[in-house]
Amino acid sequence: MLNMDLVKELDSYRLEHKITQQVLAEQLGVSFVTVNRWFNCKTKPSKIQQYQIEKFLKGKAGEK
């Protein structure tokens, strides 16, 4: 999955669950600034971060 598609999916998850960027950052184990920069297209997730995001989203999808 492309980095920005992954960020869009992550933002959809955040909005669907009505959580802040801060809470999402805590759940992912990164800083608020990192998440904010992803959503504002200032930076892209690294390969490691991309893997962690995919794992996070798959885990959350399994909880539904």
Q: What is the pLDDT of residue 37?
A: 97
Task: Tell me the pLDDT band of 58, cut-offs 50, 70 and 90.
Answer: very high
Give the whole-angstrom CA distance, residue 12 versus residue 55. Answer: 16
Give the whole-angstrom CA distance, residue 23 versus residue 19. Answer: 6
Output the domain CATH number for residue 22: 1.10.260.40
pLDDT of 53 > 90? The answer is: yes
Task: Supply the range of the domain harboring residue 27.
Answer: 3-62
What is the domain count for the chain? 1
**pTM across the whole model:** 0.85
